[in-house]
Chain A
């Protein structure tokens, strides 16, 4: 399965935030869209980092003023990006090996989406369910 298959049903808008916004703004955006991570993009729309709800919570545990920090203070900088033609199982593997859960997807230099490990697991589960269903049909046909 390709990453493209997952992005196809996610609409085409990626929700991003600028690095110079406050964490307060970021939390509002996360809540509004009910998502777990935001791509941090510069004025040109290029991803410069990723900010996950985990990053915020981890900081909040040690610093109650977390809301007044900047997105750039908490974001992860060395973001690994993927492409629509990447294989989902390889992406999932990279995420588990390197301990992150969201990957921005770029196509010809343009940010076109973000996939989470949850998205991949769900798509793979649906694929397996489908395959089992189809196998069952074949086995039942054998019995007739």
Chain B
């Protein structure tokens, strides 16, 4: 086998997905000094950054500054970006094997988990994933329709995504107008009729998945009162006991904040956000037109599993709440890439510490790796993907050392870019992105906003002069 990983014959790596994990993978590869590596990063969208651009809430701008780190990684001369190229559609994985020694899938989680209850497909029942993508200006969701003429909305789940969705529904147009929320979403939210938002947790306050700053923020909105049913804010004996003899200060703090909302009298703000605990939706009920009008929920009790965690169990007690819109924020879900082994029940690429595994032989698939949400499931903040990417890169380096890499026919950067341009003439380079970025920021500046996003691929292409 010919030498690779040298100046004249660099190790060629394709990274599929330009979210945080893709960038951290590139960063770790560039940091090691053993091999000369060159990276081509692909994304199905013209623009990079994945959920940092299309997930993170518009009223959380600060965290988006993490992209400055990604910009720096992209400045490495051995880095190239090919946006608007979907692997599995524009280019197949088999074709990539002709050009790269190693391929890393960092495609995130593009879909949602379902509640599996009757009525879930009624009009007004929507995954939070779509709503999030819509208000963030994701090009796939421009035509998305959400009926904000409804007065009452339920958000199922008590993770940070549920917090985001509830906040965006409750913010005033003034609060939103200074963010990079999509213009069409701002318009629609400006005319929103929503008065009541319920957030439904199936377990108690001590098991809520959201973090303390997020729950605190709910109590600090301009025109929305946060409220918790007093009896649901009290910890049940099992939670009380497990919290008492643990040193889990973060949870203690979180419970304190939740309890501070208990029974709070209304301060006359126009919207009300109610956090419910120990309840699960059992059915969505529609009217003759198939539009949701109410939701049946059951009260839960916690029980302790053998392993020690506290799980919900339905009681006999039911309740109905009138709602016209239901967002399920109970988790994202990865989607398979054609020809890549997938573990369907969990929505992840089958892997061992980042090496893609063949389900038949349980042995690694030569030259294929994975990282981030599509590797470990849809959990963790942006920074969590850094140690995750490192674990994968360590496997890649070990395999380079033992010669377990693909033997591409044309391990050549130029040959690769010719091939890509043939398959997708409208690909976006990093320079194209920087141009677009500058335009968005300039358009934002005029309005006192961080940026105004281009929200269709066609507009993006036109803006950088490709059309």
A binding-site residues for B, Cβ under 8 Å: 1-5, 8-13, 80-87, 89-91, 93-94, 97, 103, 125-127, 129-134, 137-138, 140-142, 144
15 extra A-B contacts, CB within 8 A, seeds A11-B362, A90-B307, A134-B381: A4-B346, A5-B377, A8-B375, A10-B353, A12-B359, A80-B306, A85-B309, A87-B207, A89-B248, A90-B242, A97-B308, A129-B386, A130-B385, A130-B387, A134-B384
In the complex, what's the smallest C-beta–C-beta distance from B107 to chain A, in angstroms?
15
**Is B377 a contact of A8 with CB atoms below 8 Å?**
yes
Expressed in whole angstroms, the Cα–Cα distance for A85 and B312 within the complex equals 11
A-B contact count (CB 8 A): 120
Could you list 29 examples of A-B contacts with CB < 8 Å? A5-B377, A9-B352, A9-B353, A9-B354, A11-B351, A12-B350, A82-B305, A86-B305, A86-B308, A87-B309, A89-B248, A90-B242, A90-B309, A91-B307, A91-B309, A103-B307, A126-B387, A130-B382, A130-B384, A130-B386, A132-B383, A133-B382, A133-B386, A134-B382, A137-B63, A137-B66, A137-B382, A141-B65, A142-B62
Residue from A1, A84, A137 within 8 A of B379 (CB atoms): A1
**Residue in B closest to A105 when the chains form the complex, CB atoms:** B307
Residues 356-391 of chain B: 1 if any A CB is under 8 Å from the residue's CB, otherwise 0?
010100100000000000011101111111111001
The complex places the Cα of A137 from the Cα of B379 at a distance, in Å, of: 19
Docked complex Cα distance between A29 and B309 (Å): 31
Alpha-carbon separation in the docked complex, A134 to B63 (Å):
7
A131 to B376, CA, bound (A): 16
> What are the nearest 4 A-B pairs in CB distance?
A130-B384, A133-B383, A82-B307, A94-B308
Most buried by A among B348, B353, B380, B383: B383
State A120–B199 Cα separation when bound (angstroms): 30
Q: How far is the CB of B39 from chain A (nearest CB, A)?
A: 21
Residue B311 CB within 8 A of the other chain: yes
A5, A86, A137: the one contacting B307 at CB < 8 Å is: A86
A10 B383 Cβ-Cβ under 8 A: no
Q: In the complex the two chains form, what is the Cα distance from A129 to B387 in whole Å?
A: 8
* Cβ contact within 8 Å between A131 and B307: no
Residues of A within 8 A of B357 (CB): 11-12
B369 CB to nearest chain A CB (Å): 11
By a CB distance below 8 angstroms, the chain B residues around A12 are: 343, 350, 357, 359, 362
- Name B295-312 residues within 8 Å CB distance of A: 305-311
Q: In the complex, which residues of chain B have a beta carbon less than 8 angstroms from the beta carbon of A4? A: 346, 377
Query: Is B7 an interface residue, CB under 8 A from the partner?
Result: no
- Nearest B residue to A139 by beta-carbon distance? B62
Select one of B62, B350, B375 contacting A138, CB under 8 A: B62
* Assembly CA distance A26 to B111 (angstroms): 42
Q: Does B246 lie at the interface of the complex (its beta carbon under 8 Å from any beta carbon of A)?
A: yes
B contacts with A: majority SS: mixed
Which of A3, A4, A103, A126 has the most chain B CB atoms closer than 10 A to its own CB?
A126
B interface residue numbers (CB < 8 A to A):
61-63, 65-66, 69, 207, 242, 246, 248, 305-311, 343, 346, 348, 350-354, 357, 359, 362, 375-377, 379-388, 391
Residues of chain A contacted by B354 (CB below 8 angstroms): 9
Q: Which residues of A lie under 8 Å from residue B246 when comparing CB positions?
A: 89, 93
Given the contacts A126-B387, A127-B384, A129-B387, A140 and B65 also touching, CB distance less than 8 Å: yes
Report the separation of the CA atoms of residues A133 and B386 in the bound assembly, to the nearest whole angstrom: 9
Contact B351 A93 (CB under 8 A): no
CA of A86 to CA of B304 in the docked complex: distance in angstroms?
10
Contact flag A129-B346 (CB < 8 Å), given A82-B305, A103-B307, A141-B62 = no
A94's nearest neighbour on chain B, judged by CB, is B308
Chain B residue at minimum C-beta to C-beta distance from A134: B383
* Nearest opposing residue in chain A for B307, CB measure: A82
Q: Separation in Å of the B341 CB from the closest CB of chain A?
A: 10
Query: How far apart are B383's CB and chain A's nearest CB, in angstroms?
Result: 3
Residues in chain B near residue A125, CB distance under 8 A: 387
Task: List the B side residues contacting A3 at CB < 8 Å.
Answer: 307
Chain B, residue nearest A92 (CB): B308
- Taken together as a complex, chains A and B put the C-alpha atoms of A81 and B306 apart, in Å, by 7
Distance in Å: Cβ of A132 to nearest Cβ of chain B: 7
* Distance, CA A120 to CA B159, complexed state (A): 21
On chain B, the residues within 8 Å of A87 by CB distance are 207, 309-310
A residues less than 8 Å from B305 (CB atoms): 82-83, 86, 90
Measured between C-beta atoms, what is the minimum distance from B400 to chain A in Å?
20
Tell me the complex Cα distance, A23–B359, Å.
Answer: 29
A8 touches B306 (CB 8 A): no
Q: Chain B residues with Cβ under 8 A from A132's Cβ? A: 383
Say whether B348 contacts A8, CB under 8 Å.
Answer: yes
* Residues of chain B contacted by A141 (CB below 8 angstroms): 61-63, 65
Residues B307 and A94 in contact, CB atoms below 8 Å apart: yes
Tell me the smallest distance from the CB of A95 to a CB of chain B, in Å. 9
- Bound complex: CA A83 to CA B308 (Å): 10
Nearest CB in chain B to that of A7: its residue:
B346
